[in-house]
Amino acid sequence: MRECHLERKTAETDIRLTVCLDGTGECEIRTGVGFLDHMLTLFARHGAFDLTLFCQGDTYVDDHHSVEDIGIVLGQAIRAALGDRRGICRYGDIALPMDEALILAAVDLSGRGGFYGDLRIPAQKVGTFDTELVKEFLTALAVNSGMTLHIRQLAGENSHHIIEGVFKALARALRRAAAVDPAFPDQVPSTKGTLS
């Protein structure tokens, strides 16, 4: 099983996280940020990743530190769980509809992380959640996991639907990229012989 447990404690957050890439989507998530809990539950289920996540953060300030630091730790755990990335498909993509929203996500588990997005979320908040934190989370996740992540909003008017589409599309694309390629289960999918 490809899994990793990490803990990270700073003056702003205290995070405990376990992820299994070969799971069934079972999850227990308590971040102190309700909307993020909902999005990460969707991420786990649609990616078939088992995810346990507890975060105590300085949400009395705002949700920024918790959201970004969770992206960092989840990214680091995914990187560790992938190991040398031998046998993975490496690439995954999907165009995912969420009601009126349509989101394109493409993932390359290249070992070189970066988030490249085109999102036009109309509302500044969904409930109490600052929608600008979506980009902060995705950037932290991509950089720390070594994932090249492209996300494009092709359509969408409802902010909740757009963000939900983003997390579901990310999960589905990552699931495909991280899957073991049955044709090449012992090969690193790179002509260089390494993914870094």
Grouping H, G, I as helix, E, B as strand and the rest as coil, residue 138 is helix
Confidence of residue 193 (pLDDT cuts 50, 70, 90): low
Residue 21 lies in a domain: yes
The whole-chain average pLDDT of the chain stands at: 95
**Domain membership of residue 122 as a residue range:** 3-178
Going by their DSSP bridges, the two strands 50-57 and 13-20 should be labelled as: antiparallel
Domain harbouring 170, CATH code: 3.30.230.40
pLDDT digits (tens, 9 = 90+) for 75-120: 999 999 999 999 999 999 999 999 999 999 999 999 999 999 999 9
Q: How many CB atoms lie within 10 A of CB 118?
A: 10
**Count of domains forming the chain:** 1
* 119 to 24, 45, 90, 115, 139: CA distances (angstroms): 29, 23, 24, 12, 13
- CA nearest neighbour of 167 among 2, 27, 17: 27
Residue 96 lies in a domain: yes
Confidence of residue 187 (pLDDT cuts 50, 70, 90): confident
Contacts of 184 (CB under 8 A, 6+ apart): 87
Residue 189 lies in a domain: no
In the predicted model, is pLDDT for residue 29 greater than 80?
yes
* Share above pLDDT 70 across residues of the chain, in percent, rounded to a whole number: 96
In the predicted model, is pLDDT for residue 189 greater than 90?
no
CB 75 within 8 A of CB 148: no
Residue 107 lies in a domain: yes
